[in-house]
Structure 1
Amino acid sequence: MQRPILGLGWIQNAQPRTLLRDLATGRLALTHEAFQQLPNWRTAAYLRDLLMQSGVLPLKDRQLLLFERWLEIHLDAVTDPEHARLLRRFAIWHQLRKLRAKVANAPLGNSPAREAREQQIQALALLIWLTRRGTALNDTQQADLDTWQSKNYFTRRPSHAFLTWCMNNNNMPVLSIHTRQTAPQPPMSQHHRISAIQRLLTEKTISLPARIAGLLVLLYAQPATRIVKLTISDIINDGNTTTIRFGDPPTPVPAPIARLLQEYLANRPNLDTATNPGSHWLFPGQRAGQPIHPVTLRSFLHKLGIPPQRGRTSALRHLVLQIPAPVLAQALGYHHTSTTRIAAQAGSPWASYAAGKHNCGAPEPTRQYGTRPGVLGG
């Protein structure tokens, strides 16, 4: 630990000191179940992360643990016993089963847990709304459902999972759930994108994490949720060339960005505390064993005037004009249907290229993004 004063300062706070004392005296059992019951959950979650990272507690998925903790608080606050029973069954037989299946294959990101919370919140809102209308769930008619969906549609859309589960389990009649598509955001203009790339490459007053994150979005069309899952092992340097493993095969990195990456790797943040001293994450977070939150990464870019979603779309639309959509999908970790759709929208000459296993990577993004030749060249 490079800065032990930070750890000592944290221990001096009342809540951590109490938890550590209770662990030492046996008043608090050293189990996940005991930590789940603690009222000061933020401090408890931080300490539990440290204990898992150090091997004192068995490793469990942090996002799943936080959702389970939130779920108990949420259900305890439901005043109608029948509503609480139904929501608990929905959580056990649908939500938790789905989340645990995801955890079995890969760490759970923030998005699935957030989606599950929204499903619970809107499911409860629906049940309360029906009760106030004097309608039981099993007596709900299509007109009721249409009225529910007609107002605040996108806020209430997470209730669709609960409605579908209820219909499949004979808790309500089988009715039609109407869907409505969100209007896609227009991509960032090519001029704005090129200008932002040049700024990220040359402006040293911008923090290194923000520069690297921005370049991964604007050059390689990577979403924040995928960027935070990159590890230092995904940056491959054989002494001559640098590649990044977004998909298969790894994607070439132009020399200016490779140099910036090497500088960043030698100066990654959040490695000077007890939480992440040996972190393998490309963007280490402040919590033990965790990368930074996607929201944090997006905030880096928003502060620089770079809209992540629009910037990513702009990069993808540019790349599909240079390389067949299925090949690009393979190299950048996309599903080929997504890149094929973007290719068709962009009028790519490769739009009809067949999907399959291909052996070429994404193009090295050199001499495409500047007003002068060689802006990104070696």
Structure 2
Amino acid sequence: MEQKTTSAPPEHRSLLRAYGSWVVVRSARRRAERTRLTPGSLARTRGHLLSVIAFLAWTAETGLTLDAVTQRHIDDWLDAGGPSRRSVRGFPQWASRRGLTADLDVPGPRRAPEPRDWSTPEQRWTLLDRCLNDDSLPLDVRAAGCLTLLHGISGPRITELTTCHLTGGAQPTIRLGEHPAALPPAAFHLLAQQTEHAVTASAIARISARPSTPWLLPSQLADQPVTAHHLTSKLRHYGLPVIPLRNSALITLAADLPPSVLSSLLGISLTSALNWTRRAGRDWNTYLAARAHDEGLKTSSDRERVRL
């Protein structure tokens, strides 16, 4: 945060430090205590702080003090930029409560569009069979693809996983949220194979006396996992499009599990789980049947062909 505030106008640095410390950092800590800080949430936090800095720089350039900013001023600033400027919203509210500005209204961020990309049941089970049994695929691709197809785990979340998240035994599990989620034995065997090969390519990490984090998917950097971008690009290269496969896995799980259970098993927010349950309540089977007919595919599940 200190690096970000040094780029702000000198007269606003103390204000930014106060806002950053009492609002931005505390909010991030509360989130970390409730669930976890993902790369996406950290990026949104940085984006919010950068929007505040940009807004304050604009007021300095236009010769405005904070107490002189009106609704018209902030509307003009919002209209002159892209949708990302709406992330400044929390700052005017905070400043207004402290009597630093007038009561200013900033629209909230636009709602994310509904998912549009899906895979058919046959496509999903065929790809799962491929991940479990096709030795020609790289092992890390098979492991990540299996997690995407079974539990709808996002790329960033997969990269956060360590070997400690896996538990063997009569009923293997993986801990993604508050409670462990069951793994088919064949999937656990595949992930166990990946843990045996999950050794960083960094020579520095291999000779370091400091214990390294046992990432499920380590990178070539010392004690670092692969990036989500690298992982999703690699999956796509081998014919595993992450977004359609993840969407289909999540909506299938949401059709069978209550939102609270879905949230605790997958480590997603309750709001996200409720949205997936709402989507599962629609007639997606009709959509998938129509798409399968157009593509000349059968819609009946071929789970029996997947050697679990």
Give the structure-2-normalised TM-score: 0.77
Cα distance in 1, alignment partners of residues 223 and 30 from structure 2: 21
Q: Which residue identity does 1:227 align to in structure 2?
A: I
Identity across the alignment (%)? 26
Distance of aligned partners of 1:287 and 1:186 in 2 relative to their CA distance in 1, 3 Å threshold: same
Structure 2 partner of 1:144:
73
| Cα distance, 1:90–1:305 mapped onto 2, change above 3 Å | farther
Does residue 1:295 correspond to 2:224, yes or no? Answer: no
2-structure distance, mates of 1:210, 1:108 = 25
Q: Which amino acid aligns with 1:229?
A: E
Counterpart of 1:124 in structure 2 is: 53
- For the residues of structure 2 that align with 1:224 and 1:294, how far apart are their CA atoms? 5
Equivalent residue for 1:158, pick from 83, 87, 102: 87
Counterparts of 2:144 and 2:198 in 1: how far apart (Å)?
12
Gap change, CA 1:306 and 1:372, over 3 Å in 2: closer
In the superposition, relative to structure 1, how do residues 340 and 88 fare at CA in structure 2: closer, same or farther (>3 Å)?
closer
Aligned to 2:291: none
Against the structure 1 CA distance between its residues 178 and 336, is the aligned structure 2 distance closer, same or farther, given a 3 Å change threshold?
closer
Of Structure 1 and Structure 2, the greater helix share is in: 2
Matched, 1:234 2:168: no
CA apart distance, 1:103: 5.9
Deviation at 1:316, TM superposition (A): 0.9
Structure 1, unaligned runs of 5 or more: 1-67, 350-368
Residue 261 (str. 1) matches residue 216 (str. 2):
no
| 3-state SS of paired residue (2:197) | coil
> Are 2:176 and 1:246 aligned?
yes
Note the C-alpha offset of 1:178. Answer: 1.0
Structure 1 residues 329 and 104: alpha-carbon distance in aligned structure 2, compared to 1, 3 A threshold: closer
Q: Does 1:211 align with 2:142?
A: yes
Q: Helix, strand or coil: the match of 2:256?
A: coil
Change (3 A) 1:189 1:135: same
Match of 1:93 in 2: 22
Deviation at 1:161, TM superposition (A): 2.9
The aligned counterpart of 1:76 is 6
Does the aligned pair in 1 maintain the 2:125–2:303 contact within 8 Å?
no
Partner of 2:132: 201
Seen in structure 2, the aligned counterparts of structure 1 residues 183 and 348 have a Cα distance that, compared at 3 Å, is closer
Query: Residue 208 of structure 1: CA displacement?
Result: 1.6
Unaligned runs of 5+ in 2: 284-298
Correspondence for 1:181: 111
Q: Does the C-alpha gap of structure 1 residues 112 and 339 become closer, same or farther in structure 2, counting only changes over 3 Å?
A: closer
Residue type of the alignment partner of 1:257:
A
Structure showing greater relative contact order (alpha-carbon pairs closer than 8 Å, 6 or more residues apart):
2
More moved, 165-174 vs 92-101: 92-101
Question: Aligned partners of 1:138 and 1:306: how far apart in 2?
Answer: 53
Q: For residues 301-345 of structure 1, give each alpha carbon's deviation from its aligned partner in whole angstroms, at most 9, with x where no partner exists.
A: 343454434432221111122333333333222344432332222
Alignment check: 8 A CA contact 1:130 1:137 kept: yes
